[in-house]
Chain A
Amino acid sequence: MKRNLVLVLPLIALLGAGCSSTRNAASTESAPATTVESKAAATADTGAVASAGVVGDDASADVGLPPELVNKRVIYFAFDSSEVRAEDRALVAAHARFLAGRSNVAVRLEGHTDQRGTREYNIGLGERRAQAVRAALGLQGVSDGQISTVSYGEERPAAAADDEESMAMNRRVELVYGKR
């Protein structure tokens, strides 16, 4: 336990010392509340949002991603499927070609689902989607150390409405670029 804390504290210190506000109330009676934001989130407003649903901390421009790929960093999926569709394979391959030659570039694969089904099960589906893209990138020469995954399940929809078109926008993996 102590060892864990040693690992955790510097991270928290980083969060606190960065631009995040980490507010915490501890009045015993009324409203103990804590506010947490990640550093990335706090700077999100200043970064250009590339396309719907893509969170703002992507550094495609900094890492030299070709302009034609900057706005094509989202892979969409069929309902209840984690298979990269035939029509998206060329896009995944283009990202793989970019990454394969640049060991100093990292990509975070953020898996998402639509809102149907239970939340934690959807975390599993989103992870499966992210892993499907990871596997496809890996097969095309991207080193595993360049790739990380996170599943947000249904928690960060790209489109808020409940219609079929919006739900299709939400079943996706976003490629978020950064430096290693």
Chain B
Amino acid sequence: MIDWKQIGLLAVALLASATAQAQLRIDITSGVTDPVPIAIVPFVGAAVDVAEVVQADLVRSGRFKALARDRQPGAPTRAADVVAANWRAAGTDYVLVGRVVQVMDGAVAVDFELVNVLNGQRLLLERLIARSGAIRNAAHQVADRVYEKILGVKSAFATRIAYVSVDGAPPTQRFQLIVADADGENSRVILESKFPLMSPAWSPDGESLAYVSFETRRAAIYVQRVRTAERQRVSERPGVNGAPSWSPDGRKLALTLSSASGNLDVYVLDLDSRQYTRVTDDAGIDTEPVWSPDGTTIYFTSDRAGGPQIYRQRFGTAERAQRVTFSGSYNARPRVAADGLSLALVTREGSAYRVAVQDLRNGALRVLSSGREDESPAFSPDGGTLIFAGRERGRGVLATVSVDGLVLQRLKADRGDVRDPSWGPFSP
């Protein structure tokens, strides 16, 4: 794939981690009507309040309500010490207890047990080993285990997001590419520029981000390793270089290039050979490509029939592109669900741009957001949630919505203007 040893790029001084940046805060704006009652009892033994992180994740999902600590009948750290009747009386169905113990230098074990107090049954008894500096991440994994055990579907609390934050107005704009935990915490700036940064996309292995940067006064696509900040310019053709999207095997990028006359078409760049393969050839704007999960098909936006609509083209064939969206005059920027059966996209309703999901089997379109300028939807790796960008009072905000439309949350940046979210994969 990419030979990182070849990268002679950009390794100079250390940038203080204290760089001012947009920190996201989460407001729960709606949830399900009948959330599952659970009590998360404080874990002993760690500097990080593991129970608080787990509780915030579960409550934020909109599918759980937590018993407040001051109403908890006791503080057990083992299932054996949970007196089920007392917890039932306090109005909860489930109790999570746990403890953190040092197991070796620099590593801890997070032990946790989940009890169903309606029948007294212990549902989980598990141990996670984590670096001492990564207890928060372990707590997110605990939340994922609890969520899946009780609801039977996966969640993605222990994953990361990337997004772009902007301060100031031209010519003094400052763009930052930020990576954070899925709850918006633990954010760090991995790239700063005075010129636009856009369209970050996580590689399938979660190691790298592809993105567009105008730092040379021209558009170019870069791939940057998140852990080491090594970066490589992978596409810098004359004109537009945009909208990178990783193939499922991580070896190729679908992207947008422009011809000398400024016509945008979709291409695939092989990251090994650096060869481009043309995918579309049409006088309209063809852009915003994305791969189907099986790697056979590329979905993209095209205005070949007037306004922008979504099409699909089988990669490596000469078949004509098939139009996929038909409802409304503006459907753009597709993302494919992990099961390949639905698309998240931006649709125009009247004068508003909203995030919607289209069922690819029957074509039914469901609008999931209610803002005026919602855009850039991205699926969580479990497929249950979309993160997207919207605007409030002229500022960019991020939000998430469950694909059933029931749970909507806003992730508020305390400063700056945030946009272009991308949700990373499950960690291996």
Contact = CB atoms under 8 A, between A and B. Distances in A.
Interface string A147-163: 00111110111101110
A40 to B, nearest CB: 6
A123 B194 contact: no
Interface residues of B, number: 76
Contacts of B375: 117-119
B80 interface: no
A4 B275 CA distance: 11
Interface in A99-130: 108, 115-121, 123-125, 127-128, 130
Given A124-B285, A131-B262, A41 B171 contact: yes
Interface in A60-93: none
Interface string B192-234: 1111101100000000000001111111000010111111010
Interface in B263-300: 264, 272-274, 285, 287-288
Contact of A120 (B217, B256, B272): B256
Contacts of B171: 41, 44, 49, 55-56
Given A128-B262, A128-B285, A131-B261, A119 B420 contact: yes
B125 to A, nearest CB: 31
Contacts of A128: 262, 285
A29 B133 contact: yes
A155 B216 CA distance: 15
Given A4-B274, A151-B240, A38 B10 contact: no
Contacts of B228: 26, 28, 32
Interface in B285-334: 285, 287-288, 301, 303, 308, 330, 332-333
B365 interface: no
Contacts of B8: 5, 9, 12
B173 interface: yes
Contact of A36 (B193, B236, B274, B376): B193
B262 A127 contact: yes
A86 B394 CA distance: 32
A162 B330 CA distance: 20
B364 interface: no
A31 B228 CA distance: 9
B6 A117 contact: no
B18 to A, nearest CB: 8
B301 A1 contact: no
Question: What is the interface residue range for chain A against chain B?
Answer: 35 or more
B258 A127 contact: yes
B229 A33 contact: yes
Nearest to B301: A121
A179 B323 CA distance: 45
Nearest to A156: B170
B189 A33 contact: yes
B198 A24 contact: no
A26 B288 contact: no
B193 A24 contact: no
A37 B172 CA distance: 11
B218 A32 contact: no
A9 B288 CA distance: 29
A33 B191 CA distance: 5
Given A5-B6, A121-B308, A34 B229 contact: yes
Contacts of A15: 215-216
A78 to B, nearest CB: 15
B195 A41 contact: yes
A170 B262 CA distance: 20
A26 B213 contact: no
Interface in B5-35: 6, 8-17, 19
B12 A120 contact: no
Contact of B287 (A8, A30, A121): A121
Contact of A55 (B170, B192, B215, B264): B170
A120 B302 CA distance: 11
Interface string A1-23: 11011001101100110000011
Nearest to B332: A118
A169 to B, nearest CB: 12
A12 B264 contact: no
Contact of B15 (A12, A33, A123, A161): A33
A15 B188 CA distance: 24
Contact of A123 (B213, B219, B229, B272): B219
Contacts of B193: 35-37
Given A23-B192, A33-B229, 13 more contacts: A11-B216, A15-B216, A24-B13, A33-B188, A36-B191, A36-B192, A38-B215, A119-B199, A120-B288, A124-B256, A127-B239, A156-B170, A156-B173
24 contacts: A1-B3, A9-B8, A12-B9, A16-B10, A32-B190, A33-B15, A33-B190, A34-B15, A35-B191, A36-B192, A36-B195, A41-B194, A53-B170, A55-B171, A119-B420, A121-B288, A127-B264, A128-B262, A130-B262, A149-B262, A150-B214, A150-B217, A153-B198, A155-B198
User: Which 9 pairs, one residue from A and one from B, show the smallest C-beta to C-beta distance?
Assistant: A31-B17, A32-B229, A124-B285, A131-B262, A155-B196, A36-B215, A41-B194, A118-B333, A120-B243
